[in-house]
Amino acid sequence: MRIGLFGGTFDPIHWGHLRSAEEVREAFDLDRVYFIPASIPPHKRGQTRTPARDRLEMVRLGVAKNPRFTVSTVEIARPGVSYSIDTIRHFAENQCKGASLYFIIGLDAFAEIGTWKNFAQIFPLCNFIVTSRPGNGYASPLRGTSIAVRRLFCYDFKKKIYTHRCGTSLHFLKLTDFAVSASDIRERVRRGKSIRYLMPSSVEAYIKNHGLYKRKK
């Protein structure tokens, strides 16, 4: 089994997330992609977030029509800050033991990985697929990362990928640009603007019915 792990705040989930996951799934022939909403994202600590139950429900609605997409409550169920090392260990050692794991992450977020808790212990556990954000062309997945991260990888000229000495790999995938962000959606709702066609209509309806994002977050 080839499994994708796609973490995020998903506040709310939008077409940018869904289309990225679909392009990664297709390019890497993944059997399943888990969307993993964070409870308390370490890099967004202190920021007001929509309650986890609402973000989780919106992710459920967003992925509902794709049989290869599913939601994981592992971070929401775990108390405290949502560190990726704990999540990846959970999948590698319990839920998906024996599968090939691919952690999906945007180029901007991966550039910060050297600041993540126990980052060096993550790389032997799973492969990484670093994806472009709108405006990025083709790039090295290591762009913007610290030397402590770079020194862990070698470039394999035959396979044209970066490899870790434990055998895992690091890839870059250029996605179709879809310049939508959750913060932009929240801002539009706050200003009373339309959010139609930026996310599945079921998610849009959830936002309206629950009065989300009316005040500044």
Question: Contact with ligand ATP (CB under 6 A): which of 42, 106, 114, 144?
Answer: 106
Q: Which residue is nearest to ligand ATP (CB)?
A: 106
Q: What's the rounded Cα separation, in Å, for the pair 116 and 43?
A: 9
Contacts of 121 (CB under 8 A, 6+ apart): 85
Instruction: Check residue 178 for interaction with ligand ATP (CB under 6 A).
Output: yes
Q: Which residues contact 12 (CB under 8 A, 6 or more apart)?
A: 50, 55, 58, 182, 185, 186, 199, 203, 206, 207, 212, 213
Rule CB under 6 A: is residue 82 a binding residue for ligand ATP?
no
Using rule CB under 6 A, residue 141 touches ligand ATP: no
What are the φ and ψ backbone dihedral angles of 108, each rounded to 5 degrees? Answer: -65, -40
Asked if 20 interacts with ligand ATP (CB under 6 A), we say: yes
Which range binds ligand ATP by CB under 6 A, 5-13, 69-77, 78-86, 94-102?
5-13
Binds ligand ATP (CB under 6 A): choice among 109, 120, 161, 173: 109
24-28-31 Cα angle (round to 5): 90
Q: Binding to ligand ATP (CB under 6 A): which residues in 179-198?
A: 180-183
- Residue 176 engages ligand ATP in binding (rule: CB under 6 A): no
Strands 127-131 and 2-8: unpaired
Residues that bind ligand ATP (CB under 6 A): 8-11, 16-17, 20, 105-106, 108-109, 131, 133-134, 175, 178, 180-183
